[in-house]
Every structure is written in C-alpha cells, then in structure tokens.
Structure 1
C-alpha cells in the first residue's frame, strides 16, 4: 500500500489541446470529498479460460490493483498494480489492464469519454503511423524491435479498453485496439509532431512552449545524487496519479529471464500505461526522465514516415523494461525512431553511483536527444562530476541536434532566449544549483518562480518586462492578458509547471520520491480555478485551489 507524508512548505504541455480535452473528460474516480480506496483482483476461470474482475484481494489472482484517491488533500491519487508471475506474460498483461480499469472507474460507474472528431485526412495519417502497411520495411521493424514487449504493452492497453467497454474477453492470437479510444491517450507526445508533419494548419503548438524542467544534482563531496523533474503542461491536465507497476514479464516469448525493469514507479495520468511527463524509477537501478526539445525545422518532417518506425511511447516502455544500463537504454530506444515526441532523455544509473566516492564511474549519466531523422547520445558522467549538475530545459545540448532542429534560426530571430547557455532557465539553474545542499533546497529550486523580482526572468521585447514563463516552474497564467510578447510561449496561458518530483539514491531503492502537485505557490499566489482567467475551461474533478505541499511517497 502507498503511504505518504505531508512535508511543510519550505518557502520556496506538453500535450496537444485535443488530448487535453479528452484527459479532462475522462473521469476515473477523482471527485470524492474524502479519500477513496478501491482494490480489485482479476481471476482466471478454469472452466471457460476467461478472466473476471472481483472487488478486493485474492491471492490466486492473475493481477491486483489498489487505488487511493487523495487528490482533494494532496493533488495526487496513488495506484499500485501487480501481476502474478505464475501466469504467462500475455495473461498478466491483459489482466493488468483489467485491474487498473476496475479501480480507476468512478464509483457510480459513469465514466465519461467523449469522441474526438478528427479531420479525415489527419485521421488517415495517424492510422498509417500507428498501423503501417505490411511492407518489407514495416515487417523488418516489427521483427527486429523487441516485439514481445510491444505486444505485452498493447495487451495491457487492450485490457484497459475492454474493461471500459464491458467486454472482457482475453484475445487469442491477433487482436485490435480502437485507434481513437484509450490508444489516443498514449499518443499525446507523438501527436504533437505528427500534427506538424501532416501539415495541419490548425496545429496547437505554441512557439517556445516549454515542456518540463529537470535537474540532476551531485551533492558536495559526492554524498548523494538527486534527480528531479517538473512537468510543464496545460492546467487542464492536472488530474494526476503516481503509479507503481510490478510486472514480472519475461524478456521474450521463449525466455525464462525476467525483465530488468519489472518494477516501476512513475508520475502519470488517468487512462495511460506510461508516464508521459516523463519520470520513472526502475528496478533496474535506472531513473529515466526527459524534457521536450521539439523540432522547428520544417525540412526534417520528411523523415517522419509510418514504415520502419515505432512510435515513441512504445519505445519508451520497451527501453524501461529491458535495459540494465544507461547506454543499453539509449541503444534500445533509438532503434526505429519515429521522429515523434522529440526529447532530451537523461538516464541515470544508480548502480554506477557510489555515494562519497571521489572519482567518477563511467555510466552514471547517459544523455540522448532525438529529432526527425537524427539521434545523438553520449555518456555525460564526466560533465556531471565536473560541473556538479546537469540541467535540462527544452533546448538541445548536442550541437548537431541544435543546428538541425532549427534552434539556430530561432536564436537569430529572437535572441538568447533560445540559446543553450544564455536562456533564462539555463542561467537560473547555473546560479541556483550552487545553493542545493539537501532535499529541501533541491525542492526549493525546482519549485522556484520569483519572476517579478528576479532579473533573470526579464523578457527582452516584452511589456511588462518580467515574465512568469522565465522560471524553473513556469506560471504563464500570471502574465497580463493585455501585454506585448514577441512569441506565443511568453503570453498569458493556462500553462506552467504542474508538479515536482524528486528522488535520491536511497529513496530510489524502494521506489520512493517526494512529489508536489499543481503550479508553484512559493513566491507567487497559488492557482485557483474560480478566480483565474480560465475558470470557463473544462476542469471536471479538479480541486478549486491548488495549494498542496510536497509529500513523501513510499510503498509497503
């Protein structure tokens, strides 16, 4: 069972809009005035060979799930999902989806999932990307990529979908998933780039819009290594779940070896089977996280092709399950890159980190960046130990990625805001990371937004000159609606830092973390739907006032 401890305040989108609307409309039990706990077990009927879901815990079950809703009190719900290794992997995966859906459904049984109306041309393009024709190159990608883990991920999603539809039937052989049901929830990041690649003029992408801040901080004397991530997203996305999956799958259909990442803790959302932020603590000893770098070079969209590629959300899941080391993760993830959901990934290997050791051990930090048609990766451990930190803030690090992504052209047009070393967050991280001495000061930095007083939050060409976007945890809603801004990310928006997660070498062993939900309120007013300029936006199931302190999350 999940346990959480409230921590005293210390004074301190990345999804396309169509998907945000769906996330707001999917109600999975988050409107209760008091904490609600639900549990379920999935049993295999020995006569029919089919699975059935029951309430409560049964030791003979193929899967178990427990959900504790404390969103009114903490801003988070907590899901624990586990499967029984005595069953074959396919049964485990499908049962996992059934179990999660059972505990996540609203108490009165009414789950609201609206149908998204898509442009027919855009719809056809999306179908081609996720269900490519069986050409030679497409078949090669399927056969060479770890397709057993892909199948298990899709089976889990199938279980989630079937439970929602009330049509539980374990699929034997080939199966299908509705392209615009729960599958769409997994595609949030990929859709951002598919939308641009398919030349849709109504793209919701905002120039310069940040999708997350991240910091990996080596404490003085190398006593500990802290890892933190702040999601930047539209405020409509703030129905949040911390999930712990225990999925003892085999590495392949013909293997008895267990996957390295069979236990995972991650920040997530209703209806999704991976993080999407992304932030994971894995049983392999790895912690994986990313910030989005995007692509501003229209000439590179031609490299996004449906054949011979696997979308990012699946490569993400597969790499997290199979990899034991950072370089192995990067090599797995880069294979058959779709060029969609283009991020800077950081893979931290706690197996290679020795607290208090003066010298470095290769492999502590691996960094990977992806844009359409190009992937760069390198061991950045030496950089981490030399500088004592690695910061990530939506700007490419590798020079070839920076140039090819169109970032150089943005610098020429808009100035230092788009540079790797002189952007506002780059400078704030460089200045404030020296103040990090422990977990409390790390949290203070990751929730930092003092834009009205901080000279590094100055916005060239803006009126007013100080901007809520220019901080580690953005508050774009606090920018005046009638201001003057050189590009879209700097204007007033229902967008900003929507959480904070942090772990260290000790907590990660037990999949623990400290988490804060909602926009920062340390040096700025807390966000409140009813008094904000966005009270008319859909936000069913949300608390009105988002003023939650960080909590310590641990698991029995």
Structure 2
C-alpha cells in the first residue's frame, strides 16, 4: 500500500454493488466524500459498471469525473476508489488467476523485487515533491493517487479477501516484473524462447477511404477476465486548460489502471498500441535501475499529455525503465481525412524501447508507400534489432527471428490487400488456418504450429509434437482478443471488440475440454464463443 501521510479521506458509505450498477461520489468538503447509488447531478464523479463477461466476454467500466466539483488529486483518488468498489471481486479473481503464486518458493527474488519497488516509489515521490510545476510529475502523482484509491475501494468491502502486501503494485507491474525477474536472476522459467505477445496492423483502405487501427492481444489464457474501460478524467494542466488526453478508452483487466495489452483511444484523437519485443542480449539488464519510471506509468502519462505522435514519443522517452520493452505505434487521426491524400508526416510514429535505448521516428511514408504498418514482436529499427540480440537468434533459429521473413510478416504482406472494410480486417486479425496455410509451416512434427498465425492458437498444437523453438509447442497461450477502430469510431472513443481465442477457422476454446484444466479460472466462462461487440460510451466531458 502506498502511504501518503498527509491524505485524510472520509468515505461515509462503503457499499458493495452488484454486476450492473451506477454510483456517484459526492464531495462534501476537501477530502470528504460519500457514495450514493445512481447518477446524481451533484456528483463529483460517476462510475458505471456492467459485468457481462458471460454474455460478451467483456465487462464494461465507465468513469466520469467533473473537475468543477473537485480537485484533480481528489478526482484521481475517487476514480480509483469507485473502480475498487465496483470491481473488487474481479480484482481478487484476476490476482489469484495470474499472480497468486508470484512469490511462492522465490523468497530471495521477492526480496529483490520489494527492494526495487521501495526504491522506485521513493524516486517517484521525491520527484513529485521536487517538481510542483511539472505536468509530467503531476500526472505521475495522479496515477499514484488513483492507485491508492483503487486499493482503498477494494478493501471497503469486507467480502474481499486480504491480498498480499504490494499486490496492487504487482498488478500494475506484472509485465515489468517478468523483466525484473530475468534481470535479478539471469533466467525466467515462466518465459519461453520466442514467446509472442500481440499482433497489430494500421491499414489504409484503397483510395484512402478509411484508416483502421487494430490489435490482437497474445497472452496466457488465464488472463481472459477482461474489462473495457473509459477513464473520462479531465485533469488540468499546470498553466491552465485541460490535458489533451482527458478521456481514454482502453481494453484492460480488473485491478489495472492501464491497458497492458496495450490498446488506447484518446480524446486527443491519438490511438496508441504496442507489440512486445524480446531481449536476448542479457547484458542489457545492467541498464535497469529503480531510478526510473516503470512502463505502465510512462504510458498513461504520455497518453494524457501528448497531442501528437512526436509529443507522445518525447514524453515516453525520459526515465526509461528498460522493462516491458515494446514497439509502440502512435496514430494521429487529426491528420487523416477519408478520401483525401495522406499527409507527408505526423500520421504514424513508431517507437521501440530496450534497456538503455529508445529509438523513434515518423513512419508516415511507410503508410503512403505500402498502405499498412504491421507489428508482430520483432524489432523494426536496426539499432534495436542488433542490440536486443536478434542477429544471433536469427543465425541459430532462422527466419522466426527475422523482421521481414517471420511467419506473421509474410501473412500480413500477403493478406493485407484483401482488406476492403471493417469485416475483412476483423477476419484478417482473427485469421488462423495453421494446419493448411503454407506460411504456418515449420520444421516441426507435425509440420506446422498454431503459433504461426495472426491470432495464435498454441493450445491446438499436439502435446507430443516436436518443435525447434519452445514458443511453437503446445501451450495454454494464444490470441485472446481483437480491438479495432476507424476514423469515425475514434471520434467517440469507440471500437469493435472481440473476446477470447479465435474460432474463425478453429474450434471454440473451452476450458473443460482444453486439457489444461477441467474447470475455468475464477470468473471465466467455460466456453469463449463470443461475437464482436461495439464498445460505446455515454456523454464524455
């Protein structure tokens, strides 16, 4: 728990609400709030939650803050508190499903993680105190306030079990912790060589009729307890006015203040998303230091403060933690008009991060020349590719580690021209025909892998198969969703969203017949046979 000794909050009512409800947080005095049911006109913040996981694969959380009725710090805390009240049961389920054993039988590792976390929190708090006129550090302070409120909201219900110390920080930083574990121990039994994490494409339709931005999360199936969120929190800039990204729509998980997939649509009309790149050069871990800002915090600060792709990159670059290392794509829909020529610059910026180094540049000209940008867990920039250790992996294992010749690069290059509308793009992002597609072939037994597809289904690989790269084997892992927006939907922070492993060419995933476990993880439906839904929100400030 983050201890901020000067914070005094009195919540006069701490209710526990059901699967579908709206609550209002009413400010009676500085740091004195009360919670009531329904959308009240005098509310400083209103939160609505609908748990429709069993019907659509998604629950929906919508939070609207009203800056005229509260301060920014109070608004951040209220937002966290309301989310903790609404999603407390799901937070416990997510922690149990994904992090419940994170420190068991690893006491020395956990001691190192705790020491790193303590030093990092001190670094953040010291800089917040030393930079009262900085919008950057103000946003970090608001992130920590929201996180504190989230934990307090969770514990407002006696029904919610006690979680381990720092559980809420671990929920934010679980992807960062994978890198920290490897940095601290030199190995990570949780990871497998070549582990894929997400597919993404930015696609321009013929005659520039539309611009699509779409993303598939790849993850372990235990993570498939999902929440799509809207944070409508119009914080103020130090010198007046609202932050550009005052409203953010994003796919997420219970207990997390960021997407982690990552996929964000902002009121600034920026869309940001990433796919993760591996680190095979272990000497890079020497650059990791607690005197940094961990990746989820830098992401949310950049999303809120940037009004262009270049600004996003410049905001994200300082205090590089070297953890959760990704290729980020920032699409600026302010520079796209359907049916008109693409601009020569500032439509697409691409950034790649590794420990010690961040490289970014304007890649609009790639969209002009090819009509698409695809991303699939292999670095694009030569400097990042080389420093990360990909040349050695390419030499040893072949084109799996090639930027241009890996399976997904070839599938995107072959199939993107078939995209003519939203339906055909959705079909591309859910594509997996690995038993019959020659681009899914490998030097394996059998001679293909469900990992070699736009939306992986590694659970369908035979358990007795033989594979030269561990990522290609049978695992409880694959594409777990799709999110897709275009030039019209982005105006209302809307998108098309599909939950669960693809079943376009493959069978529906079902826990009870999966062979991994007979009963679903906590909160999961047994069967993930869900159609895409349109994510829509109420009126945004």
TM-score by length of 1: 0.87
**1:214 paired residue number:** 200
**Are 1:531 and 2:505 an aligned pair?**
no
**1:180 paired residue number:** 166
Tell which deviates more after alignment, 527-536 or 368-377: 527-536
**Are 1:265 and 2:252 an aligned pair?**
no
**Are 1:153 and 2:143 an aligned pair?**
yes
Deviation at 1:145, TM superposition (A): 8.0
**1:287 paired residue number:** 271
C-alpha spacing 1:45/1:359, structure 2 compared with 1 (3 Å) = closer
How many residues matched? 510
**2:226 paired residue number:** 240
Residue 58 of structure 2, aligned match among 69, 76, 90: 76
**1:516 paired residue number:** 498
C-alpha spacing 1:248/1:313, structure 2 compared with 1 (3 Å) = same
**Cα deviation 1:240-262 (Å, max 9, x = unaligned):** 1111110011123xx32211101
**1:396 paired residue number:** 379
Inter-partner Cα distance in structure 1 for 2:519 and 2:466:
23
C-alpha spacing 1:441/1:393, structure 2 compared with 1 (3 Å) = same
**2:531 paired residue number:** 549
**1:204 paired residue number:** 190
Residue 406 of structure 1, aligned match among 355, 369, 389: 389
**Are 1:305 and 2:305 an aligned pair?**
no
Whether the aligned pair in 2 keeps the contact of 1:346 and 1:365 (CA below 8 Å) is yes
C-alpha spacing 1:136/1:39, structure 2 compared with 1 (3 Å) = closer
**Are 1:120 and 2:103 an aligned pair?**
no
Structure 1: state its 5+ residue gaps.
Answer: 1-28, 169-176
Inter-partner Cα distance in structure 2 for 1:436 and 1:503:
14
- Describe the SS at the equivalent of 1:354: coil
Whether the aligned pair in 1 keeps the contact of 2:22 and 2:38 (CA below 8 Å) is yes
Deviation at 1:554, TM superposition (A): 1.7
Tell which deviates more after alignment, 58-67 or 465-474: 58-67
Residue 92 of structure 1, aligned match among 61, 70, 75: 75
- Describe the SS at the equivalent of 2:335: coil
Deviation at 1:279, TM superposition (A): 0.2
C-alpha spacing 1:403/1:112, structure 2 compared with 1 (3 Å) = closer
- Describe the SS at the equivalent of 1:456: helix
- Describe the SS at the equivalent of 2:64: strand
Residue 445 of structure 2, aligned match among 444, 448, 463: 463
Inter-partner Cα distance in structure 1 for 2:469 and 2:366:
33
C-alpha spacing 1:537/1:132, structure 2 compared with 1 (3 Å) = farther
**Are 1:481 and 2:467 an aligned pair?**
no
**1:58 paired residue number:** 40
- Describe the SS at the equivalent of 2:142: helix
- Describe the SS at the equivalent of 1:72: helix
- Describe the SS at the equivalent of 2:25: strand
**Cα deviation 1:142-173 (Å, max 9, x = unaligned):** 747811100101101101101122399xxxxx
- Describe the SS at the equivalent of 2:484: strand
Inter-partner Cα distance in structure 2 for 1:178 and 1:246:
30
**Cα deviation 1:191-229 (Å, max 9, x = unaligned):** 121111111545311110111000000100111110100
Inter-partner Cα distance in structure 1 for 2:380 and 2:92:
46
**2:7 paired residue number:** none
**2:12 paired residue number:** none
Deviation at 1:294, TM superposition (A): 2.4
- Describe the SS at the equivalent of 1:442: helix
Residue 236 of structure 2, aligned match among 214, 233, 250: 250
Deviation at 1:311, TM superposition (A): 0.5
**Cα deviation 1:514-549 (Å, max 9, x = unaligned):** 011000001011100111111247611111111111
Inter-partner Cα distance in structure 1 for 2:520 and 2:494:
32
**1:166 paired residue number:** 156
- Describe the SS at the equivalent of 1:301: helix
Deviation at 1:188, TM superposition (A): 1.9
Whether the aligned pair in 2 keeps the contact of 1:53 and 1:102 (CA below 8 Å) is no
TM-score by length of 2: 0.89
C-alpha spacing 1:294/1:544, structure 2 compared with 1 (3 Å) = same
- Describe the SS at the equivalent of 1:280: strand
Whether the aligned pair in 2 keeps the contact of 1:450 and 1:523 (CA below 8 Å) is yes
Inter-partner Cα distance in structure 1 for 2:145 and 2:173:
16
**1:9 paired residue number:** none
Inter-partner Cα distance in structure 2 for 1:413 and 1:265:
41
Deviation at 1:236, TM superposition (A): 0.6
C-alpha spacing 1:470/1:537, structure 2 compared with 1 (3 Å) = farther
RMSD over equivalenced CA pairs, Å: 2.5
